[in-house]
A and B are shown apart, each in its own frame.
Chain A
Amino acid sequence: MKTTISITFSFLIAGILLGVLFSTQFTENLPLQGSHPTEVLEAQQELVTLYTDEQMVMKQRVTDLRMEIADLQEQNSYFIPSDEQEKLNNIKINLGLTELAGGGIEIILEDATSVNRPELDVNDDALVHAADLRDITNLIFSTNIKGMAINGQRIIFSSPINCVGNTILVNNFNMLPPFTISIITDSPTEIIRVITDERLLFDIYRRIHDHGVNLKFRMKDSLSLPVYNGNFKIDNLTEIPVEE
């Protein structure tokens, strides 16, 4: 009886081994890791969420502190020569360190309706890329504008715009489509002229025509741009005094 069971068991094991050998003829190496890869990915995504939340809080703190300092300086402006105050205000406007309001135009960039960006396997040509936002903001900066923001993030000359996987970081802040570029300008038609020139944005228009990426314009009588909430570093810069 015992012999029969052991022989039967042996046949079973032999069958399992044969099955494994049979199928591995058509496969690569078996995975070495024990945990499911999506668990590791989920942990990293949680970390991204944590850092993003922390960043939102700190950016708001930076904005609040800058505004508080600016208010105090203005309230006590009688201590300060008016020309110095005026110079500082003008520079701050150009650096995006003041809120801005006025008329202008919005450019809206969207992924093709047929894709779902968070999916692992998605048609890259149907997505809006960080390079698209960089090329468009570069063209906008070649015109006369007063200020610009993307999805509420103020854009200045040194704003980084990067693609990390399927997400886009603007001022190192995570963003998802649609991307609304808000521009305060007295010449919205000039913006439309440069942005609709397909020679200047060849790759974007290829993907608009062939893959359904969406670009549209919206004229706005009133726009409001927030203060730039990134940081400025000058640790390695030394001013060269002007020779008199």
Chain B
Amino acid sequence: MTPKENKQLKLLLMFIGLLCGFFISVQFRSFEEVANIVRESDANNIFREVQVLKLTNDELKTEVDQLTSELANLTDGRSYRESIRTALEKNKIIAGLTAVQGPGVLITLDQEVAISWLVDIQNELWTAGAEAIAINGTRLSPYTKGFEDFNGQVYLNKIPIHTPYKIEAIGNTDILEKILIQRGSITARITSVYPGIKINVSRLENIVMNAVR
């Protein structure tokens, strides 16, 4: 090989190397773009879904154990009477037919918001395991009519409600508070839509809620 050919070969190899380097880098870039798409769209969402599903399954396991035990105890007339009375007391509490008290959180909104936000707040609280919720003193129950908006006035259970909106929830205080103040929470989202609004979340040792009727 002549020196000139040798030089040409080296330049050719260098050019081939340059192309190889370019394509390798482009390939890594597309890999990273897939990672970004996947990371932004799905990773955190699926993690949250796993969290919610696991929590639900743990609670269902407890419910299955309790029901199995209740069934096993139904052996005679006395146990049937006790079972009915226990179920009646428990279901009256759940249905809001008895006044209740317990620890929880109070959320206060000092401005009017669209009813969809009030619906979303109560949904967040139920999701977090709230055991009883009241809004401006109205207990949520199977007998409570939903939120309505007539000419800008918000109604709950056909009763007008005014600001400040006071939403009380009895349950595990730590979990309830966390879901309300964590990053991206419902309170953060409301604040971003209503910049001047004041939303206060406070822990209460004892909340008293009236029976729904």
Contact = CB atoms under 8 A, between A and B. Distances in A.
Contacts of B92: 91
Interface of B: 6, 9-11, 13-26, 28-29, 31-32, 34-35, 37-39, 41-43, 45-50, 52-57, 59-64, 67-68, 70-71, 74, 77-78, 80-81, 83-85, 87-95, 97-104, 115-116, 119-120, 123, 126-127, 129-132, 140-149, 170-172, 208
Interface of A: 4, 7-8, 11-24, 27-31, 33, 36-38, 40-41, 44-45, 47-48, 51-52, 54-55, 58-59, 61-62, 65-66, 68-69, 72-73, 76, 79-80, 84-85, 87-88, 91-92, 94-97, 120-121, 131, 134-135, 137-143, 156-162, 164-167, 169, 172, 174, 200, 203, 231-240, 242
B9 A231 contact: no
A131 B120 contact: yes
Contacts of A44: 42-43, 46-47, 50
A30 B98 contact: no
B74 A72 contact: yes
Nearest 7 Cβ contacts at the A-B interface: A15-B17, A19-B21, A165-B45, A141-B146, A51-B53, A65-B67, A172-B56
B56 A31 contact: no
A14 B91 contact: no
Contact of A18 (B21, B63, B74, B120): B21
A153 to B, nearest CB: 12
Nearest to B100: A237
Contact of B46 (A28, A48, A141, A160): A48
A40 B44 CA distance: 12
